[in-house]
A and B are shown apart, each in its own frame.
Chain A
Amino acid sequence: MDFSLIAQQLINAVSLGSLYGLIAIGYTMVYGILRLINFAHGDVMMMGCFFAFYGIMIFSMPWWLSFPIAIVLTAFLGILIDRGAYRPVRNAPRISALITAIGVSFFLENLGLVVFGGRPKGFPRPEIFGGIYTFGDIRFLGLSIWVPLIALVLLSGILFLVYRTRVGRAMRCISYDMETTRIMGVDVNRIIAITFAAGSAAAAAGGILWAMKYPQINPLMGIIPGLKAFVAAVLGGIGNVVGAMLGGLILGMAEILLVAIRPDLSGYRDAIAFGILILILLFRPTGLMGEKLPE
């Protein structure tokens, strides 16, 4: 393999990996604070894509207006899901919340099928992201550079939120002991709502980038990226934001590497994620950057 091929694959891997990472952030934030695997997260991402799609196709918005609006709408959808589905089972056993999450996931997918229709739709790719750049032998889509950049910016924003703001301090306290945080006078439900909003916004951003990379959207498109992002979150250590991004990058690398080295095995690409999941659960269940299990 020569240098340009390696560079080429590296760009692809980082770009794919940051997408997984962006979606994984939402999983990890919600888990960190509520100990809930939000299985609807991939479907939230799908909704974000459709919001962006309809913003452009029906309301004829330019992409730079439609995408941010879609992200904001998805953040509100996250809050709505928490309010309508998860808050009522907040004090119920975790397994009830988990099943609720699966229910929300099915609900969104089927709502999508009814409202948007099952036929895949072509997602527009604005020119700025669609250009093809050439450096010597390396050719790549402009998007492949934009994705890691946007991921980095959003990751920094979320790290700032969690570690440098008052809301973030409350999030960390809730993840440690929700009842005591409440007794400290913190409106816990508000903080959880903000967590859902931030996680869903990151998922929408990830989803829109995903839709530009693989420019077809349908109501079931969130399932596979959602599951892989979940694997990325577990790999990085669920509950840890940086870990989620790291897990995403490793997963992206692994997939691209497999396809690059053994193209004949590329059909097994999706199996990599779940292979990694099994290995992690067997040998390091808390993930790469995960904290020790609480007693």
Chain B
Amino acid sequence: MNKRYLDYLDQLEAEAIHIMREVAGQFQKPALLFSGGKDSITLVRLAEKAFRPGKFPFPLVHIDTGHNFPEAIQYRDELAERLGEKLVVRNVEDTIKKQNLSEPTGRYASRNGLQTYTLLETIEEFGFDCCIGGARRDEEKARAKERIFSVRDEFGQWDPKRQRPELWNTYNGRISLGENVRAFPISNWTELDVWNYIKREEISLPNIYFTHERECLIRDGKLMATSDFIYRDPEDEVVTRKVRFRTVGDMTCTAAVESVAYDIDTVIAEIIESKISERGATRIDDKLSETAMEDRKKGGYF
């Protein structure tokens, strides 16, 4: 074997670091969107690799729906503290009051869609010209066609027809006033790549990614964590199961999966065996229509 051989995780890491440094080099006021989920936790590790021993050239920005898992929020605060990096939190609750938005109601009520309003408000407040996000192309078919530098208009809208061709490793971050860019350094990673990287880098994760006993209600065959925020019908069946979360988003739209995986190795084994995709298993928001993600992205979603 060639002595100078770069393993696939090293290649993916090198590409992601290069993209982050292009963001730092091309933009005046970038930000890293941090959700407390494994993909954005991976982004933070990549930012350390890209910029240490210097500081990050951007703050971590969290759009908090107020319906997040407390474990993820605690992890977020501890991480920012440990890294000594700036954390900006903006609350969907405040946007709802300020813009007089109506909260979604009913069985599938979730603030997930309202995050977009708060995100756009935050972009405007700080004048962010580029937001780094942890979206991956393997997640969903609308994301499979997303660029690494994705130009958005002043309403944050994604227009698939206006996408710029992206060649070699040359990213065009030139924008007009009012436009901004979403940059996706781990576009080419799969769910399994992220887990293998977390394992290799020995990154700690919020404990909800591993098996624990939890009270859930069963909705459309999926296990939803009980909380004060989730809509409950009197006839909803409530059960206690050994579960973990495969994605960590808003509690009202992120389902748990039954699992006994207690560490990274057992999680990886479970994903390899899994017959259902990550978003298919865990996201209520994508099930609402066939083009749910495409429509949300056009509306300014990540």
Same complex origin of A and B: no
Q: Residues of B at under 8 Å CB distance from A? A: none
Q: Residues of A at under 8 Å CB distance from B? A: none
